[in-house]
């Protein structure tokens, strides 16, 4: 039988896709459904599939949420705090640095690299380096405070300072990424607009609010969504800096998933937590896209 060219093309296409289709079905889609399934069961990995318990795991989370000193409530509350402090701080700082960087001619490459370095390094290594910087008494930051005549701080051991201290590290670690995206966005704004505004007598301040910011809006939305998701998934830094302490003041949803699922092997409960996290990520993404993405037409 002789195949037509079109038939042959279709066969080649399916051949090229075959391995990847098996991968996406077995390693992505099936586990996604399995995650929902596990969240409705009393599941222990070493005993295999457990009994169907309906919404019992979700009910347990709901109940735990209102217990005194609840780790789950702390986890959700802290995760929200990381997002609310971290994302605006990072975007504001990154935009400021990007606006400074587009103005200079010499050494631009050097500065870009310096701001970007932490992004490529391991979060675990970074966590330990900052543990050492934050160390009581002998840490570099406390030594600096001493020289300046300021009171020394306990940072990660102080329940009120621990979460902000970790947020600073998280912002520091990924700010380079945001700077590069802002720089790329800034360079796509045609100079014509600024020249026209200058002729009309607009000052810098006006140009920033009327031209730069509105035209950067899509970039800001993109980064806000991406970084919010990143902060919602906080784990590496927290687990290696404070293990969620002191007094659960830094624990996160993913850290609770890890503790419940892989220390207590309470996997149904942990799976239910991840389903809630998934719902949160989905909701926030849709919300931010709706609210923030007003199109700018010129």
Partner 1 sequence: MAISVDSSTEHRLEAAERLVGKPPQSRTRFSWETFLTYLLLSIGAVIMVTPFVWMILTSLKPAAELVQFSFLPVNPTLDNYVEVLGTNSFGQWYFNSILIALISTTSVAFFDTLVGYTLNKFEFPGKTIIFLGILATLMIPTEMLIIPWYNMSVQLGWHQGTMQYWGIVFPGVITAVGIFLMRQFFDGVPNELLDAARIDGMNEFGIFWRIALPLVKPAVAALCIFNFIGNWNAYLWPLIIASSREFYTLPVGLSFFRGESTTQWEKIMTGASLATIPLLIVFILFQRQIIKGIALTGIKG
Q: Which of residues 164-223 bind partner 1 (CB under 8 A)?
A: 172, 175-177, 180-181, 183-185, 187-190, 215, 218-219, 222
Taking the complex as a whole, how short is the minimal distance between the CB of residue 70 and partner 1, in angstroms? 20
**Length, in residues, of the chain:** 298
Distance of CA 180 to the CA centre of its chain: 17
When computed from its CA atoms, the radius of gyration of the chain, rounded to whole angstroms, is 25
Distance, in Å, from the CA atom of 257 to the CA atom of 36, rounded to the nearest integer, reads: 14
Distance, in Å, from the CA atom of 50 to the CA atom of 45, rounded to the nearest integer, reads: 9
Residue 88 binding partner 1, by CB under 8 A: no
Taking the complex as a whole, how short is the minimal distance between the CB of residue 189 and partner 1, in angstroms? 7
User: 């900052």: which residue's tokens?
Assistant: 130
Taking the complex as a whole, how short is the minimal distance between the CB of residue 223 and partner 1, in angstroms? 9
Residue 23 binding partner 1, by CB under 8 A: yes
In sequence order, what are the residues at sequence separation of 6 or more whose Cβ sits closer than 8 angstroms to the Cβ of residue 182? Answer: 94, 95, 98, 216, 219, 223
CB-wise, 46 or 66, nearer to partner 1? 46
Distance, in Å, from the CA atom of 71 to the CA atom of 288, rounded to the nearest integer, reads: 28
Residue 73 binding partner 1, by CB under 8 A: no
Q: Binding to partner 1 (CB under 8 A): which residues in 231-290?
A: 233, 235-236, 239-240, 254, 257-258, 261-262, 267, 270-271, 274-275, 277-278, 281-282, 285
Residue 157 binding partner 1, by CB under 8 A: no
Distance, in Å, from the CA atom of 237 to the CA atom of 251, rounded to the nearest integer, reads: 10
Residues 34, 55, 84, 289: which binds partner 1 (CB under 8 A)?
Answer: 34
Residues 68, 103, 200, 201: which binds partner 1 (CB under 8 A)?
Answer: 103
Taking the complex as a whole, how short is the minimal distance between the CB of residue 14 and partner 1, in angstroms? 7
What pairs with residue 41 in β-bridges?
52
CB-wise, 66 or 192, nearer to partner 1? 192
């Amino acid at each position: 039988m002789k195949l037509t060219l079109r038939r042959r093309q279709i066969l080649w296409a399916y051949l090229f896709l075959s391995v990847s289709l098996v991968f996406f079905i077995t390693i992505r889609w099936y586990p996604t459904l399995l995650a929902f399934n596990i969240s409705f069961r009393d599941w222990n990995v070493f005993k295999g599939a457990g009994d169907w318990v309906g919404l019992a795991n979700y009910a347990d989370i709901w109940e735990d949420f209102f217990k005194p000193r609840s780790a789950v409530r702390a986890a959700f509350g802290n995760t929200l705090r990381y997002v609310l402090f971290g994302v605006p701080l990072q975007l504001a700082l990154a935009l400021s640095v990007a606006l400074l960087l587009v103005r200079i001619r010499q050494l631009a490459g050097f500065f870009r690299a310096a701001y970007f370095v932490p992004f490529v390094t391991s979060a675990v290594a970074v966590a330990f380096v900052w543990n050492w910087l934050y160390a009581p008494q002998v840490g570099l930051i406390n030594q600096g405070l001493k020289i300046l005549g300021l009171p020394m701080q306990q940072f990660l051991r102080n329940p009120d300072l621990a979460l902000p201290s970790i947020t600073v590290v998280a912002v520091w670690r990924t700010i380079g990424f945001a700077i590069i995206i802002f720089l790329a966005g800034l360079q796509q704004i045609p100079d014509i607009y600024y020249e026209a505004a200058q002729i009309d007598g607009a000052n810098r301040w006006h140009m920033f609010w009327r031209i730069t910011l509105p035209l950067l809006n899509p970039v800001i939305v993109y980064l806000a969504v991406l970084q919010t998701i990143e902060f919602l998934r906080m784990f590496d830094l927290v687990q290696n800096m404070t293990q969620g302490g002191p007094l659960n003041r830094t624990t996160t949803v993913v850290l609770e998933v890890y503790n419940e699922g892989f220390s207590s092997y309470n996997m149904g409960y942990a799976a239910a937590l991840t389903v809630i996290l998934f719902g949160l990520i989905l909701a926030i993404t849709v919300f931010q896209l709706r609210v923030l993405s007003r199109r700018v037409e010129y």
